[in-house]
Amino acid sequence: MNYKLYSTDKTTAASAWIRKEVKGKKTFDAPQLSSGCKVKQNGRGMIIENALGYVQYNANNVYFNDTNVSMFSGAFSGANGLSVIPKNFMKVVSLFAARRLIKRNWLNDKDEYLPPSEVL
């Protein structure tokens, strides 16, 4: 078997790419969800006003795909994600789909996500 190793040190991570549209936007403390329909009284979740929802991305690697990648209709109590707004909606959906479709194993669980090639 041939394996190709590469360094992602000098490239933009998908986790940074997806946050460009929300960076610097004012957030506020809102009711926080700890699951799809359970509100938690305290947590770290913040959301942008008039956001469509919130997406949780725990880390930028395959290891967390099964347990820490989810979408919510409001702020997530665990943070580690970002608000979904119209400007980043397609990015969020694209990365969410990639993260949910790729299953981890011992060969790929430390692989990092990179932004896709954008064609307009």
Give, for all 120 residues of the chain, the pLDDT tens digit: 677 766 677 788 898 999 999 999 998 888 777 777 777 777 777 889 999 999 988 888 899 888 888 888 888 887 788 999 999 999 999 999 998 998 888 888 888 888 887 655
d(CA 101, CA 104): 10
Sorted by where each begins, the domain ranges of the chain are 14-101
Quote the pLDDT of residue 48: 92
Task: Output DSSP code: residue 87.
Answer: G
Phi first, then psi: give them for residue 65, nearest 5 degrees: -55, -40
Q: 69, 58 in Cβ contact below 8 A?
A: yes
CB-based contacts of 2-9 (< 8 A; 24+ apart in sequence): 8/112, 8/114
Strands (DSSP E) along 1-120, which ranges? Answer: 27-29, 32-35, 38-40, 46-48, 53-57, 69-72, 75-76, 81-84
